[in-house]
Amino acid sequence: MTIIASIGTGNMGRALLTGILDHDPGLDVRATTNSSASAQALSSDLPNAAITSVEEDPEANRKAATGADFIFLGVKPWMMAETVRDLAPALSPDTVLVSMAAGVATADLQRLAPGSPIVRIMPNTPSAIGHGVIALAPDDSVTEANASTLQELLSGAGLVVPMPESDIPAMTGISGSGVAYFFLLAEAMIDAGVKLGLSEETAKQMVVATADGAGRLMTHNPDPASLRKSVSSKGGTTLAALDTFIDSGIFSIAEAAVKAAADRSLEMEAENAASVG
């Protein structure tokens, strides 16, 4: 049976494991956190996983990692160097390290864990409900069999898109961080509805249902421009709103925002490279 160790299981690690275990509840999953309070909270979300904390057992990470086929690294980027160094005695060339950290380059992970096959992934939080988007960039030492097993495991959490590592910053800009842009637009629309006299509860309910409907339509017809044009009658209400968005620079705002996230990902790679030493 495939064994997964999840070292650092917070928002993102939990989202991924939830999606993976919903798809394949029989997997052997060991998950760790720093504090025992977080471990306890995680137990109710992941009843089929063995959960331990470093606070209760300083060896928890190494114990979870020993003998695992895949080690998911879900600690914050700045903790990656310390965490991987601490895991070193538990690593073997057969164990694949899977890093989800934004802004930690594969080359730095290779320096931290020489001889370990490494996969850099970039997931997003809808992975928890099986609707994530997960970029997958294996290094040259990952066997095809391991890459395809990992892809199959992650498919429980959403759409898996293999890509070269060099595409990860752009992917982070549109997808890893992108979920939050839709939340921001929803917040702005709710505020606008309230300003026009709707109750906050009604505005929220309608915006959330509208976002859900729009998402589902795009899944059926993945061409947002044609969907937009199909609801933009000349002289109508939708076109009045869309012209306002476009005249106010929505395309350049989105371009600048996505570029800011991608640039920040590269900056973080440089900062974290310095901490790897």
Q: Which residues bind ligand NAP (CB under 6 A)?
A: 7-13, 32-35, 38, 54, 61, 74-77, 79, 83, 100-102, 122-125, 176
Give 134's strand partners: 160
Nearer to ligand NAP, 29 or 101 (CB): 101
Residue nearest ligand NAP (C-beta atom): 10
Minimal distance in Å, beta carbon 150 to ligand NAP?
16
Q: Which is nearer to ligand NAP, 217 or 276 (CB)?
A: 276
Q: Which is nearer to ligand NAP, 99 or 203 (CB)?
A: 99
Q: Using an 8 Å Cβ cutoff, are 162 and 134 in contact? A: no
**Alpha-carbon torsion 175, 84, 113, 158, what sign?**
negative
Tokens of 54: 């470093």
**Residues with Cβ within 8 Å of residue 262, at least 6 apart in sequence:** 169, 170, 172, 173
Q: What crossing angle do the helices spanning 250-276 and 80-87 adopt, rounded to 10°?
A: 40
For residue 124, the minimal CB distance to ligand NAP (Å) is 6
Nearer to ligand NAP, 14 or 190 (CB): 14
| In the complex, least distance from residue 208 CB atom to ligand NAP, rounded to whole angstroms | 19
Cα distance between residue 104 and residue 222, in whole Å: 31
Task: Give me the least distance between CB of 6 and ligand NAP, in Å please.
Answer: 9
